[in-house]
């Protein structure tokens, strides 16, 4: 059977349905719960803030299986509204009952934009981060909840997010490209002409989600954006951008940029805070890193300057999908630019 397809723009209702349907399967929840860095950081942050949660009303935005809501109940919350739009909410109800916190945690099926609560809340907790932080655009729902339901001076967990970029050298990609030059020696058939085709396929405009080895990082990471969840607006999320400057560690070939994020949880023991990091220098998470491959590698030596500007914005095809545009200059090279997006096969219209 053969398929032909073309990309089409989906209306927001269908975008949302596809998004929520993707969270109805057990696999994605298994991946998230099994991510010890993610789950344990949230648990630790909630328990460390127990003095601010005890006796308070909490809203869990995008509650999923309800694990964060249960953490809040364990921290002494008076009431937790676990708002979840997809069918996993049915499992959350069972999990809440199994943990004997149904008198505290109330699962409400629906989006936070449509669900009505009987009262304002003092705390909002949400695990809203997507690949490259903003993929899936769930932060907009957290901001809606903040403006609609959070009391003045309320607590938001996490309260701050930061985005970083660094040049990298991915040797695996170069090995894959060189592979086509080795076929003749192995099998007597010259396939070196495949190299250019392979380059176009591999070094395309996709945002590649993969784990970057710390030894492949070529500079100290540069922070290019920071979001304060108490003040950032949905309008400001339409384009998140910032400049970056860094210097290479030594001699290598830059063939990609790596983008990653951190989120910070406030803690009562100020000035201490708790940080969930997706840095290549930290233990791996299910978010891994977002890798942006350049069309051609650029040689650098010690202290070669790498600078530019990163812009992140919603895809024209789906507002839930993120695009990343990078303007960059490496050493004395001419300034270049490239736009990347996360591929989504749900936009292929099968004929």
pLDDT tens figures, 73-128: 999 999 999 999 999 999 999 999 999 999 999 999 999 999 999 999 999 999 99
Residue 256 located in a structural domain: yes
Token digits of residue 351? 């004929």
Name the domain count of the chain. Answer: 2
Do 107 and 167 lie in one domain? The reply is: no
Between 346 and 115, name the one with better pLDDT: 115
Residue 80 located in a structural domain: yes
CA Rg, the chain, in Å?
22
Q: What is the rounded average pLDDT of the residues 196-201?
A: 91
Active site residue 226: no
Contact 125, 157 (CB under 8 A): yes
Domain that holds residue 65: 12-127
Q: What is the pLDDT of residue 184?
A: 95
Residue 1 located in a structural domain: no
Catalytic residue among 102, 119, 136, 299: 136
Q: What is the pLDDT of residue 124?
A: 98
Q: Report d(CA 202, CA 177) in Å as an integer.
A: 9
Residue 226 located in a structural domain: yes
Q: Report d(CA 79, CA 24) in Å as an integer.
A: 25
CATH code, domain with 71: 3.40.50.150
Angle at 24 between CA 19 and CA 29, to 5 degrees: 100
Do 338 and 256 lie in one domain? The reply is: yes
Residue 58 located in a structural domain: yes
Q: Report d(CA 238, CA 197) in Å as an integer.
A: 35
How is residue 234 annotated by DSSP? T
Residue 3 located in a structural domain: no
Residue 86 located in a structural domain: yes
Catalytic residue among 31, 127, 309, 349: 127
Active site residue 84: no
Do 122 and 178 lie in one domain? The reply is: no
Q: What is the pLDDT of residue 144?
A: 98
β-pairing, 160-168 vs 208-210, is: unpaired
Q: Report d(CA 83, CA 93) in Å as an integer.
A: 11
Q: Report d(CA 286, CA 45) in Å as an integer.
A: 19
H-state helical runs in the chain = 12-21, 26-34, 36-48, 50-53, 67-74, 88-98, 139-149, 171-187, 194-202
Q: Report d(CA 52, CA 278) in Å as an integer.
A: 27
Q: pLDDT tier at 18 (50, 70, 90 boundaries)?
A: low
Using CB atoms within 10 Å of the CB of residue 218, give its burial: 0 to 12 exposed, 13 to 18 middle, 19+ buried: buried
Q: What is the pLDDT of residue 21?
A: 57
Token digits of residue 187? 């099998």
Q: What is the pTM (predicted TM-score) of this model? A: 0.90
């Amino acid at each position: 059977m053969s398929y032909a397809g073309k990309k089409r723009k989906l209306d927001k209702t269908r975008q949302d349905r596809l998004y929520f349907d993707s969270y109805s399967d057990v696999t994605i929840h298994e991946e998230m719960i099994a991510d010890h860095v993610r789950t344990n950081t949230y648990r630790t942050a909630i328990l460390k803030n127990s003095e601010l949660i005890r006796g308070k009303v909490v809203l869990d935005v995008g509650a999923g299986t309800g694990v964060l809501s249960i953490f809040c109940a364990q921290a002494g919350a008076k009431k937790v509204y676990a708002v979840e739009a997809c069918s996993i909410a049915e499992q959350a109800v069972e999990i809440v009952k199994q943990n004997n916190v149904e008198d505290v945690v109330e699962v409400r099926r629906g989006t936070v934009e449509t669900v009505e609560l009987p009262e304002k809340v003092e705390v909002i907790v949400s695990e809203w981060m997507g690949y490259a932080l903003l993929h899936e655009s769930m932060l907009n729902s957290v901001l809606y909840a903040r403006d609609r339901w959070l009391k003045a001076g309320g607590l938001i967990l996490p309260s701050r997010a930061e985005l970083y970029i660094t040049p990298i050298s991915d040797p695996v990609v170069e090995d894959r490209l060189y592979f086509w030059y080795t076929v003749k020696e192995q099998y007597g058939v010259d396939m070196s002409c495949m190299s250019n085709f392979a380059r176009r396929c591999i070094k395309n405009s996709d945002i590649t989600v993969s784990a970057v080895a710390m030894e492949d990082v070529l500079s100290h990471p540069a922070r290019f954006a920071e979001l304060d969840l108490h003040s950032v607006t949905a309008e400001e999320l339409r384009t998140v951008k910032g400049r970056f400057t860094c210097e290479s560690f030594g001699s290598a070939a830059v063939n990609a940029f790596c983008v990653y994020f951190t989120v910070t949880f406030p803690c009562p023991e100020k000035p201490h805070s708790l940080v969930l990091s997706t840095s290549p220098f930290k233990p791996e998470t299910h978010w891994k890193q977002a890798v942006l491959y350049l069309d051609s590698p650029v040689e650098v030596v010690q202290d070669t300057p790498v600078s530019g500007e990163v812009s992140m914005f919603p895809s024209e095809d789906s507002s839930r999908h993120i695009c990343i545009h990078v303007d960059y200059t490496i050493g004395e090279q001419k300034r270049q630019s490239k736009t990347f997006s996360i591929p989504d096969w749900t936009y292929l219209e099968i004929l």
